Amino acid sequence: MLRVVVPIVILAVFVYGLVDLIRTDARLTRGISKTAWIFVQVLLPVVGAILWFLIGRPRATDVAPVVYSHPIAPDDDPEFLRNLEIRRRNQAEEDRLKKLKAEYDAKQNKLDAGTAEASGTGSAGDAHEPGDAGTQGTDEVK
């Protein structure tokens, strides 16, 4: 039983240490370079893995290098795209209101022209006011 457990533990420690080393960012390794750590782990499987966990592995308090942000393109900036959409909607609304106002003005001019034409061409003798004797069909009592 011990002859099976020991090699499995050695293999597990070696594989875990190697995978952890490979997944670690090269800038965060301590002691020696990442490539050198790989050679140490391959040449000395158990000792290399133990050394990696004790010396080379980055600590939780280690901070990754600061990545300086660069300006992003306007088509990648969500705030710019949001403002662009708002401006587009506002412009569409203004255009719609101008069109409605033009239609309203055209109808108003047509209506004004029609009332001016009707009042200017009618004869004075034909017009009857309510309550006139000439008005037919009314049942008003005077």
Residue 104 pLDDT class (50, 70, 90 cuts): very high
Cα→Cα distances 3→6, 20, 83, 98, 131, Å:
6, 26, 69, 90, 126
Residue 48 CB neighbours (<10 A): 22
Mean pLDDT taken over the chain: 80
The arithmetic mean of pLDDT across residues 79-105, rounded, is 92
Q: What pLDDT is recorded for position 140?
A: 60
Per-residue pLDDT band for 66 (boundaries 50, 70, 90) equals low
